[in-house]
Amino acid sequence: MSRLVEIIQSEDDALRHQSLQSVIGACTSGELLEHCAALENFRRNEQNLYARVRALFFLSAIYRYHLPATLEAEQVTSKGLIPFDGYEHLLARRFGEAIDSFLMDQTNDGPSDALASALSQAYHQLAFQTLADQVRRSVRTVRGNQWMFRIGHPADHPLRLRRELLAADPTSGAMPLLCETTAVRMDLSHSAWSDIFFLGMDYPSGARVLNISVDLGVRGRDSQPRPPIETYLRVIDQPVFRLASVDLKASADVTTIGEMFDFARDYLGLLKAAVIAAGVVPPGLEGCGRPMHELLQRLVGPGMGLELVSKINDIPKGSRLAVSTNLLGSLISILMRATGQIQSLTGGLEETERRLVAARAILGEWIGGSGGGWQDSGGVWPGIKLICGAESGEGDPEFGVSRGRLMPVHEVFDEQRASSETRQKLQDALVLVHGGMAQNVGPILEMVTERYLLRSESEWQARGQATEILDEVVAAIESGDIKRIGAATTRNFEGPLQAIIPWATNRFTDRMIDACRQHYGDRFWGFVMLGGMSGGGMGFLFDPAVKPEASEWLGKMLVTVKTEMETALPFAMDPVVYDFSINDRGTWSELRHGNEAMMPDRYYQLMLPELLRTPLRDLPVHRRGELQAIGRRCAEDQLDATASTLLLQSVLPKEDSSGDNDESLQELLDRIGFDVEQHEQIRSDLKNGRIGLSQNRLMSSTTIRDVSSDHVVDLRRGGTAEASKLGEEAIRGGEVAVMTLAAGVGSRWTEGAGVCKALHPFHRFAGRHRSFLEVHLAKNRKSAKAHDGVIPHVFTTSYLTDGPIREHLKRHEHFGFRGPVHVSTGKSVGLRMIPMIRDLFFLWQETAQQVLDQQQQKVRESVRSALMNWARSAGEGNDYTDNLPGQCLHPVGHWYEVPNLLRSGVLKQMLDDQPTLRYLMLHNIDTLGANVDPAILGSHIERGSTLSFEVITRRLEDRGGGLALVDGHPRLVEGLAMPDERIEFDLTYYNSMTTWIDLDGLLAAFELKRDDLGDTAKVDAAIRRLAKRLPTYVTLKDVKKRWGHAQEDIFPVAQFEKLWGDMSALPEVDSNFFVVPIQRGQQLKAQAQLDAWNRDGSSDYIDSLCDWNA
Amino acid sequence: MQVRKAVITAAAPNQSRIPTQQLVNREGKDKSALQLIVEEILSSGVEEICVVIRPDDQEVFEQAAGNLIGSLHFATQASPNGYADALLQAQSFVGDAPFLHLVGDHLYLSTAEQSCAKQLIDVAAEFSCSVSAVEATRENKLPYFGIVSGTRVPRHEGVFEVQRVSEKPTPTLAEQELVTPGLRAGHYLGFFGMHVLTADIFESLEQVNADASVPHATLSDALDAFRTRHQYMAFQVAGSRYNLGVPYGLLMAQLAIALSGRDREQILSEMVELLAQRAPIIHDQSEQKA
């Protein structure tokens, strides 16, 4: 038996917790493949799901981190193409078939880097799918949840509304109103994310969280903290299910059961998930096709309906206080009270009832396609509690499947364990803030799961330390020593948490902690990371003597630092400081009658305009009564001044603020030289179907084949000694410069947040976070020093990145870089457009798309139909202007950045300053490995061609074109232009974008000479001439629109671009293609890649190319 | 244990007219619903029957009883204070003896040789304790019935030792606390509307009736208290019950009786004729709107 299988199956902790590395650290590629074969065989036959998952993670890690490095060391070079059918299986989530396909190719052609990347991805996804399936199964088999999946028709509905809610007030006629208030939760330590479901179920003894229910108020806005979550339920005299979210300003009358399952149709998805999880519309009814009134008739009575309202007191998204899970809990609780599933209609809940609510909240999160940890519904419980994983025993549905149960155990601290004095002291010392960043914590949770299963030594030790720190925090609470809590949580954050996940912190958080230390010294007691990562909700502990002052100071400091960094990091809002207090009663409900049975004032601001538009006689009786009640309250001065003003404002016309927006967009367009004529031409082409996603493609009659070894120069083992010498001399002679393309806003990097990617401090090098820009300068410094030359560095920018980059370079004084640094300002800009429906169809249906997990896929389909409606109603092909001006514009593709260098006069200046310049290395901002390597430069000089493109062998994630023989000529083909997606999989090489340019050759391609660069008209004409010969691609990009309190919507918008790689198609431009090592050519496109990039040795490689000493 | 007395409750506000409804029995004779119930009881060896009714209903019930009036006593429930209170009105009639209890709005059809009531009395006699008749009930019917959970008594088909009783539980509670092993998923032991009770039940009835936190206490509430102090069983009767109080309840009961009796062939052929006629299409107004 393979040693790895033994580890997986062992009941002995010492063996079971052994790391993968310890077994395969010194294996040859052959031995690694033997291990893989044994694991593959094991995972196919093993019944126990957890054993299977661990085997899958072992396989994924071997193929991702170990096999490629071993193949590299053994100098095994194979072509390694990824079979397209395997890729298609992978996208469609047929993981088993995908693995079979990749393994068959591996058996036939031998192992390769490309196949290893595909196998790793397939095993990784299968592992998470298996886990998700298990959690889903566990959620469904929790007793008390099962029946909801069996109900298939509203006539079978077994719930009835409690009679108390049906008794109208005899005098006013108002229906009683059930109100529930719920706290949110804050965790002082989660023992290194041990609240991930899978961890709790696999390692219950290590799953412990110290969790506190808190009331909140925004400092300076609210007079005192109160439970942030309020939910309301009442019977209405219309047979509809009315849902309303006061904060998101959304309401809907749900009239069919199907609509309740359409989560993305509006902003009411969470309320819908709660209605379903509470069993009011049981999940088994999905697809039954019945009207809602049939169900309501059973549940409430003929002609009657329900109204469910939520309010979270404007707590912004990303607070890391589990607002959404606790809101879900509150909604579920109120609905279960109303249907008698919870005995207590009013007051607090019993422990069994809280557990029931928590189990349903887990179900609700799964139904809504979101996910949270098992501690998140902590706000439903009172006060301070320790939440622990529990071993599964006989009678549990998990017994025999997993070591732990899905549902943890809550130990609420009584007065003895946490005295009132301690509670008060904690409130007096802790400042809760929202730093303003709203990031997706999902990838972090996946990384934690993977780390846990691989049991890498340092990370496993860190998990042990985190567990000890939790004990320390508990002891500190029991002894009332708040300072010790601060010390422990800081140690937790800076030690084990970052050892396991370096991305738990970022430059913003580090700077804030440093600032606190510097300003308050010993009186700063420590930092608490809340939830999955820092940057959003965070806690800072101060000496109570300085806390009031420190809160003020912190509020200002957060805004200052945020303002400095907002172009580099994705902030969703301005930071805020909260006032908080510990909530010692848990979720609480009361039933209001008569004149007391009024919804919150903000509800009426939302509903009033619509109500007033309807003639009074058409309103249902209850609505009329309600309006009269509001009128009475206004007349009798029962409403406070702000509430009545807001009410009045809601019905009176407001000044149109969108005008300002349009104006500033127009100003911006004028200022940056927007070409209206070209824009109208493109719009008309787009509308008429002359350009579009399908028109991007080359004619299907074009023959596209893979290149042979004759068409490329293989530099993977370095260049010749002569070439190196040539290169070194060129550097010494001042013949080469570096051009870094930094015009992009990193659409994929920040999922459309529109920050300057070049400035993103993405990784810690030499002790602190460094940006892409700083890394590129550090590499340049090292090359220049090594060969005693001067390498000018130019960053090309766009309207979006120009200001921030210039300011950043100035503030940091070029990071001590001694050579010339230039910024070439982009002069070309496009205005985004509403996409054409046919392009959306093409993107979602014609191109191969990643299918999501069953429930998430349902949600995505619902989002897509909503987006189609948006495009239709906003007008296909119209200008996209409903966003910040910066988000409405787009850079027009990297091809323009080279002409811009000519147009902006920067090239002229560089040549004037350093007339010896002959070569330019152009590279993307995210190609971190690209440096001025003398051997490659020399190879370019030796061949004397105009352009030398660097290509790499392809990994699974390298999509988007490659090097091909097009009708017999080698050239780079963009992914957009591939007539058939399958073709890309037959191409060995992927374009890294790094290009060595012979400056005089390039000028010749523009029909220019060095002397012409001063003649703007001539340069402009030359650029237009060449631009016409290059294809224009239409693309759809995701752009975020922010609104409300850190809420974000993502829209696909149409834009056009011209791409640099198409230069290789020009017959008069002499091009070469260099094959370089993957580490040199790989690009960091998405933040999700960072972790693997860091772990496979790439970050160390980059570090070795850099010189950080100014 | 000898069961000589029986109690029928018919005092619920919406229930008092049901026992007077006319049906045709298995032999083709006209009978009131009350007569059918009383015949079922008398066939099991019971001699005296007490009917708990609302004030002013006695005349109607006397007429409905027809020639069986001799076996009947009447007790009245002064105001509608719930099921437990109604049963308590029969306490002086019952005295210390065990008794059979039926609800006044159900009819029973046995699938065995013995009537449903007789089957139940035999089990009570065998175990010398209170027994409730139950049948497996799907969860969509939970809002209508009292539900028990229990463990099977070895070597006694269909007999359970009761562990919990809950009146009209939610499916959530039922799934967590009322599952009886051996039933299909989503099925529970629901009351059949027929019980043999010892006189000890009155203590529990008084207890729950006096509890202010339980408004309109039910027999289920009393039985849940009762089971903690006395042996209490449930028995799956071989037969069916028909609730006359639901829409078409009377029609379904009549069809079931007729199809199990003398006129089966006649009824079947008339039904076929009915089915063969073209049914008029009647729209539900609410559906039209939808």
**pLDDT for A128-165, tens place per residue?**
888 878 777 888 888 888 999 999 999 999 999 999 99
DSSP string of A174-229, one letter each residue: PPPEEEEEE-EEEEEE-TTTTTSHHHHHH-GGG-EEEEEEEEEEETTT-SS-B-SE
Other Cβ atoms less than 10 A from the Cβ of B96: the count is 8
The Cα of B138 is separated from the nearest Cα of chain A by a number of Å equal to 9
Q: Calculate the alpha carbon distances from A311 to A252, A278, A308, A436, A649 in Å.
A: 15, 18, 10, 21, 20
* pLDDT for A852: 64
The Cα of A411 is separated from the nearest Cα of chain B by a number of Å equal to 22
Report whether B190 contacts B132 (CB < 8 A). Answer: no
Measured CA to CA, the distance from residue A251 to residue A273 in angstroms comes to 15
B contact test, residue of A140, A142, A341 with most B CBs within 10 A = A341
* pLDDT for B288: 45
Report CB contact under 8 Å: B141, A291. no
Report whether A284 contacts A260 (CB < 8 A). Answer: no
Other Cβ atoms less than 10 A from the Cβ of A661: the count is 16
* pLDDT for A848: 65
> Which residues does A432 contact at the CB level (< 8 Å), separation at least 6?
A186, A214, A216, A321, A530, A537, A538, A539, A577, A578, A580
Higher per-residue confidence, A314 vs A782: A782
B 140-169 residues inside an 8 A Cβ radius of A: 140-143, 168
Q: Calculate the alpha carbon distances from B115 to B100, B111, B240, B244 in Å.
A: 13, 8, 11, 19
* pLDDT digits (tens), chain B, 290 positions: 899 999 999 998 877 688 888 999 999 999 999 999 999 999 999 999 999 999 988 998 999 998 888 889 999 999 989 999 999 999 999 999 999 999 988 999 999 999 999 999 999 999 999 999 999 999 999 998 999 999 999 999 999 999 999 999 999 999 989 999 989 989 999 999 999 999 999 999 999 999 988 888 999 999 999 999 999 999 999 999 998 988 899 999 999 999 999 999 999 999 999 888 876 665 555 444 43
* pLDDT for A847: 66
User: Which of chain A's residues have a Cβ under 8 Å away from the Cβ of B143?
Assistant: 158-160
Report CB contact under 8 Å: B175, A341. no
**Burial call A276-292: b when 16+ CB within 10 Å, e when fewer:** bbbbbbbbbbbebebbb
Using one digit for the tens of pLDDT, what is the confidence trace for A1058-1079?
A: 899 999 999 999 999 999 998 9
The Cα of A303 is separated from the nearest Cα of chain B by a number of Å equal to 10
* pLDDT for B281: 60
> Which residues does B265 contact at the CB level (< 8 Å), separation at least 6?
none
Highest mean pLDDT among A100-104, A678-682, A686-690, A980-984: A100-104
**DSSP β-ladder status, B48-53 and B5-9:** parallel
Is the backbone of residue A746 left (phi > 0), alpha (psi -120 to 50) or beta? left
Tell me which residue in B143, B172, B186 faces A160 most closely, judged by beta carbons: B143
The Cα of B16 is separated from the nearest Cα of chain A by a number of Å equal to 23
The Cα of B153 is separated from the nearest Cα of chain A by a number of Å equal to 21
Amino acid symbol at A757: K
Report CB contact under 8 Å: A156, B174. no
Higher per-residue confidence, A966 vs A315: A966
Q: Where are the beta strands (DSSP E) in B54-122?
A: 72-76, 99-103, 106-110
Amino acid symbol at A380: V
Report CB contact under 8 Å: B170, A158. yes
DSSP label at A989? E
Closest CA to A990 of A952, A947, A950: A952
Measured CA to CA, the distance from residue A92 to residue A851 in angstroms comes to 5
pTM of the model: 0.84
User: Which of chain B's residues have a Cβ under 8 Å away from the Cβ of A279?
Assistant: 171-172
Q: Which residue of B has its CA nearest to A156?
A: B140
Report CB contact under 8 Å: A147, B171. yes
Report CB contact under 8 Å: A341, B170. yes
Other Cβ atoms less than 10 A from the Cβ of A242: the count is 17
Report CB contact under 8 Å: A143, B176. yes
Amino acid symbol at A874: A
ipTM above 0.85, yes or no: no
Closest CA to A953 of A740, A772, A724, A715: A715
The helix (H) or strand (E) run that includes residue A786 is helix A772-787
pLDDT at A1005 over 50: yes
* pLDDT for B15: 73
The contact set of A with B (CB < 8 A) is 143-148, 150-151, 155-160, 239, 255, 279, 291, 293, 336, 339-341, 356
Q: Is B186 on the interface with A (CB under 8 A)?
A: yes
Higher per-residue confidence, A397 vs A548: A548
User: Which of chain A's residues have a Cβ under 8 Å away from the Cβ of B172?
Assistant: 144, 147, 279, 336, 341, 356
Report CB contact under 8 Å: A356, B172. yes
Report whether A597 contacts A234 (CB < 8 A). Answer: yes
User: Can you tell me the mean pLDDT for A256-270?
Assistant: 87
pLDDT at A662 over 70: no
Report CB contact under 8 Å: B171, A158. yes
Q: CB-based burial of residue A979 (10 Å sphere; 0-12 exposed, 13-18 middle, 19+ buried)?
A: middle
> Which residues does B32 contact at the CB level (< 8 Å), separation at least 6?
B19, B20, B21, B22, B23, B64, B65, B66
The percent of chain A in helix, strand and coil, each rounded to the nearest 5, is 50, 15, 35
pLDDT at A917 over 80: yes
* pLDDT for A986: 87
| Band (A384; pLDDT cuts 50, 70, 90) | very high
State how far Cα A34 lies from the chain centre. 37
User: Which of chain B's residues have a Cβ under 8 Å away from the Cβ of A145?
Assistant: 175
Amino acid symbol at A39: L
Report CB contact under 8 Å: B290, A293. yes
Q: CB-based burial of residue A449 (10 Å sphere; 0-12 exposed, 13-18 middle, 19+ buried)?
A: buried
Q: Identify the residue whose tokens are 């079931």.
A: B256
- Phi, psi (degrees; rounded to nearest 5) at A392: -85, 140
What is the token pair recorded at B237?
């009767």
User: Which of chain A's residues have a Cβ under 8 Å away from the Cβ of B168?
Assistant: 160
Number of Cβ pairs < 8 A linking chain A and chain B? 55
* pLDDT for A614: 83
> Which residues does A1086 contact at the CB level (< 8 Å), separation at least 6?
A748, A749
Tell me which residue in A150, A158, A239 faces B143 most closely, judged by beta carbons: A158
Report CB contact under 8 Å: B170, A159. yes
Other Cβ atoms less than 10 A from the Cβ of A63: the count is 27
DSSP string of A1007-1075, one letter each residue: T--GGGGG-HHHHHHHHHHHHHHS--EEEEEEEEEEETTTEEEEEEEEEEE--GGGGGG-TTS-EEEEE
Q: Which residue of B has its CA nearest to A160?
A: B143
Sign of CA dihedral A952, A956, A962, A968: positive
Higher per-residue confidence, A642 vs A382: A382
The Cα of A861 is separated from the nearest Cα of chain B by a number of Å equal to 25
Report CB contact under 8 Å: B170, A143. no
